[in-house]
Amino acid sequence: MAKIHPTAIVHPKAELAEDVEVGPYCIIGPNVVIDSGTVLGAHVVIEENTFIGKMNSIGHGAVLGAPPQDRKFKHERTYLRIGDNNLIREYVTIHRASGEGEETVVGNNCFLMAYSHIGHNTRVGDGVVMANSVGISGHCIIEDGANLGGMTGVHQYTRIGRLAMVGGMSRITRDVPPYLMVEGNPAEVHGVNLVGLKRAGIPEANRTALRVACRLLYFANLNTSQAIERIRAEVPLVPEVEHLLRFVEEIRQGRNGRYLDQPSRK
């Protein structure tokens, strides 16, 4: 039987695994499912239609599954789904989706630090790190292994690529290609996230290929079409380079029409 503090309120239609721990003054709403090994600190609020996987640690004051901050929302049935082994620190907020049957999704093994926010209809991959007070607006995509520095703000419908590193206090209004480091207001590319790539076990030859591709895309005074053509002709098309090119080409094809600015020439 779940270990529930006597001051907590758990809706009778919530489903908790036998070893879930619920701290003081928590509130758990209807149609909430919490899988085994998950622990809730004090004053956690989990609202309706939220599904939380195994072995998650949820810090005090977190609010998960609240209604979306979206004027179009008309109280239709929407969802929040959170995977396994996530560390969700104090006062994190994650909203469920807007639009009948839609969902906000957080993957596995993420580290969401204090006061970070994930807006409605956003999809967060596995192994993502968000430092304190990161704000993710609605309808964003955060790919696996992305790392966002503290107080970064991310605009609606923006995508941050796999293993990208975003410096703290950046303003992200355009898609951030995978494997790169960006920073600033507005954000600019500063090179390849070599430390993150090494930690992820990306081979040295693949890292080298990404460095060449990044140089051609951002530091060779080429337009995007010219840079892609030269990369395909001159750079080994390892999986990471292929993913980078697909990402950039999808932006050019109008997926959301926003491409990260090239760095200013000084």
85 pLDDT higher than 60: yes
Q: What is the mean pLDDT of the chain?
A: 95
- pLDDT, residue 266, reads 33
Residue 98, Ramachandran bin (φ over 0: left; ψ between -120 and 50: alpha; else beta): beta
Q: In the numeric block, which tokens belong to residue 73?
A: 């929302």
pTM value surpassing 0.85: yes
Q: Is the pLDDT assigned to residue 218 strictly greater than 80?
A: yes
The mean pLDDT of 190-205, rounded to a whole number, is 98
Are the C-beta atoms of 131 and 149 separated by less than 8 Å? yes
Give which of 227, 151, 241 is closest to 192, Cα–Cα.
Answer: 241
What's residue 265's pLDDT?
A: 36
Q: How confident is the model at residue 264 (pLDDT cuts 50, 70, 90)?
A: very low
Q: What is the mean pLDDT of residues 195-211?
A: 98
- Say if strands 180-184 and 187-192 run parallel, antiparallel, or are unpaired: antiparallel
Instruction: Evaluate if residue 256 carries a pLDDT over 80.
Output: no
Q: What is the mean pLDDT of residues 24-33?
A: 98
Residue type, 173: T
Q: 252 pLDDT band (50/70/90 cuts)? A: confident
Q: Can you give the pLDDT at residue 42? A: 98
Residue 260 confidence (pLDDT) above 70: no
Q: Is 169 exposed, middle or buried (0-12, 13-18, 19+ CB in 10 A)?
A: middle
Tell me the average pLDDT across 134-160: 98
CA 183-148-88 angle, to 5 degrees, is: 165
**In this predicted structure, what is the pLDDT of residue 68?**
98
Number of CB atoms found within 10 A of residue 167's CB: 17
Above 50 in pLDDT, residue 262?
no
Using one digit for the tens of pLDDT, what is the confidence trace for 111-134? 999 999 999 999 999 999 999 999
Is the predicted pLDDT of residue 94 greater than 60, yes or no? yes
Neighbours of 208 (CB within 10 A): 15
Q: Tell me the HSE value of 203 on the side-chain side, using a 13 A CA sphere.
A: 8
The domains located in the chain, with CATH, are 3-139 (2.160.10.10), 204-252 (no CATH)
Kindly indicate the confidence band of residue 255, based on its pLDDT and cuts at 50, 70 and 90: low
**Residue 162 pLDDT grade (very low, low, confident, very high; cuts 50, 70, 90):** very high
* Residues 152, 170 contacting (CB under 8 angstroms): yes
191 beta partners: 181
